Amino acid sequence: MKRNLKFFQNFAWILFILFICLSLFDIRFGTLGLFCMISPIFFSSIGKGRLHCSYYCPRGSFLGKFLYTISLGYPIPSFIRNKYFKNIVLGFILTVLTTSLYTGGFTLINIGTTLFKIVLFTTILGIVLGIIYTPRIWCMFCPMGYTAELIDRKVRSHNK
């Protein structure tokens, strides 16, 4: 099992490239971005913590794979780990998402465009920060990873 997970982690970045290419070909494929929203929530809800982030996330795999050798390794600013900062980023992404879906409608084109833009923008940010600091710095405040963390905490406290 562990070997399979490791294998997936090493090659999940291919899915990320595929997602970008397919979305550029037809923006409706951007709806596949829903996978990266549902999967972390699903795994943390069933008590698997951040399993998605550790092994399945195509973007996490992409950042780790391609920035590993070029990251400059500057010290990570402390505010990145701050929960208020994470809440602000989460709130911002949720606002952009809901506003765009509300104003543009729940069509495949609008959902795909919205998710693709969010993924693209946050990935560019993740790449820039990843080059300056550490490859997966985006994962320290990524709204989906943070949501999974919050759900995981709730699940654990409930199971105590």
Binding of ligand SF4 by 53 (CB under 6 A): yes
Min separation Cβ 107 and ligand SF4, Å: 25
Build a one-symbol-per-residue string for 7-46: x at contacts with ligand SF4 by CB under 6 A, - elsewhere. -----------------------------x---x------
Q: For ligand SF4, which residue of 67, 111, 118, 144 counts as binding (CB under 6 A)? A: 144
Q: How far apart are CA 151 and CA 46, in angstroms?
A: 10
Dihedral angle sign, alpha carbons of residues 61, 67, 71, 76: negative
Half-sphere exposure at residue 100, Cβ-oriented, CA atoms within 13 angstroms: 18
Whole-angstrom CA distances from 9 to 41, 79, 152 are 18, 28, 21
Build a one-symbol-per-residue string for 55-94: x at contacts with ligand SF4 by CB under 6 A, - elsewhere: --x-xx----------------------------------
CA–CA separation, 115 vs 32, rounded Å? 8
Nearer CB in complex with ligand SF4: 109/127: 127
Determine the Cα–Cα distance for residues 127 and 123; give it in Å rounded to an integer. 6
Kindly list the residues in this chain that would bind ligand SF4 in the complex (CB under 6 A).
Answer: 36, 40, 53, 57, 59-60, 138-139, 142, 144-145
